Amino acid sequence: MVDVVDMDGAVSACRQAITSRQATQHVVLNAGKVVLMRDDPELKRIVGDCQPVHADGMAVVWAGRWLGVPFPERIAGIDLMERLFHEAEREG
C-alpha cells in the first residue's frame, strides 16, 4: 500500500504521473490518517485507491521498519510539493 521510496523516488513517481498524463491521486500517510482509516471506510477506500502513497509521518516510517518494511525516509507532502515546484521551474 505505501511505496518504499526515498524523496528522489517520490519525485520520480510524480514526474512519471505528470508526463504520462494519467489521472492520479497522490496521498501521504501519517499516523493520524492511519487511525482515522480504521473507523472511516470511505477514507480507507480513497487511500487504497491512491497511487502513489508515501510515508509522511515518522510514526509510519518507524512502524514500517518494525514490521520489516524498510522505508528509507519520511516523504513529507509539503517537502515533496516544494521539490516538484523546483522541478517545474527548472523545466519552464
**What integer pLDDT is reported at residue 33 of this predicted model?**
95
Q: What is the per-residue pLDDT across 17-38, written as a single tens digit (0 to 9) for each? A: 889 988 888 899 999 999 999 9
Q: Where are the beta strands (DSSP E) in the chain?
A: 27-29, 53-55
Q: What dihedral angle (degrees, nearest 10) is formed by the CA atoms of 13, 18, 23, 26?
A: 40
Looking at residue 59, its pLDDT comes to 94
Q: pTM for this structure?
A: 0.83
Q: Does residue 19 contact residue 91 with C-beta atoms inside 8 Å? A: no
Tens digit of each residue's pLDDT (9 = 90 or more) over 28-80: 999 999 999 999 999 999 999 998 999 999 999 999 999 999 999 999 999 99
